Amino acid sequence: MLYFIGLGLGDAKDITVKGLEVIKGCSRVYLEAYTSILTVGKEALEEYYGRELLLADRDMVEQEADEILKGADVSDVAFLVVGDPFGATTHSDLVLRAVNAGIQYRVIHNASILNAVGCCGLQLYSFGETVSIVFWTDNWKPESFYDKIKGNRDMGMHTLCLLGAGRKIYEPPRFMTVAQAAEQLLEIVQNPITEETVCVGLARVGADDQAIQAGSLREMASCDLGGPLHSMIITGHLHPLEVDMLRLFSGPESLKGLKMTGSSTYIS
């Protein structure tokens, strides 16, 4: 059996009881090492799980999948993913490869940023399509994600922006902050999004030092939410209850640009 096991968002203890039991009985345990990170490193996971973890980077998963699947038809192999196995990044290709090889698979789910983002008080069913924002360079400034944000906004939906990681060869990885994402967005914003549009910055969701800040896009460009991972939400139409929740994470003037339209909707 090939097991896809979600690790949750915080630390080693966020794994489910079911997931931990499976890990302890597997012949090999791979840790997917490119979609996301936990607040603890590989060594802390190995100590808590009591197992050696084999790092599986993007090249291995995409180009050397047969190595992961090797022997999974006669013994149990685990593939660990931060968050949920089919959350921000799906692993459908690995599933299809297993099925084509006659290997059974099973998924053990966990929390992902796609549902845990509700911690800021925005209602999950009011979110539209999720987008990814990547680091710009001097010669490469993709803006295709903006059309999706605009489409969500036009429908009154919130947009969860997953903030990218980047690295140059021989350099350690770097992770985009809310402030960096907001700075890039401010260069390309156009109606119906402005620098006064209410946004929410989130960092290390699920960890003990989780951080949330609400305010205008302009304010997000100067906020400091600490270490990775960061996410940002561009709000759409806001229910009064959502506004009350956002006030828990904002300064006294941060939401002053909100306007009421109708009896139960705010916009910025």
The gap from C-alpha 225 to its chain's centroid, in whole angstroms, comes to: 16
Counting beta carbons within 10 angstroms of the beta carbon of residue 30, is it exposed (0 to 12), middle (13 to 18) or buried (19 or more)?
buried
Which residues make up each annotated binding site for S-adenosyl-L-methionine? 9, 84, 87, 112-113, 163, 205, 230
**Token pair of 11, please?**
């630390």
Alpha carbons 147 and 140: distance in angstroms, whole number? 17
Main-chain phi, psi angles of 55, to 5 degrees: -70, 130
| Three-class DSSP category at 71 | coil
Which residues make up each annotated binding site? 9, 84, 87, 112-113, 163, 205, 230
| Three-class DSSP category at 79 | strand
Alpha carbons 236 and 126: distance in angstroms, whole number? 8
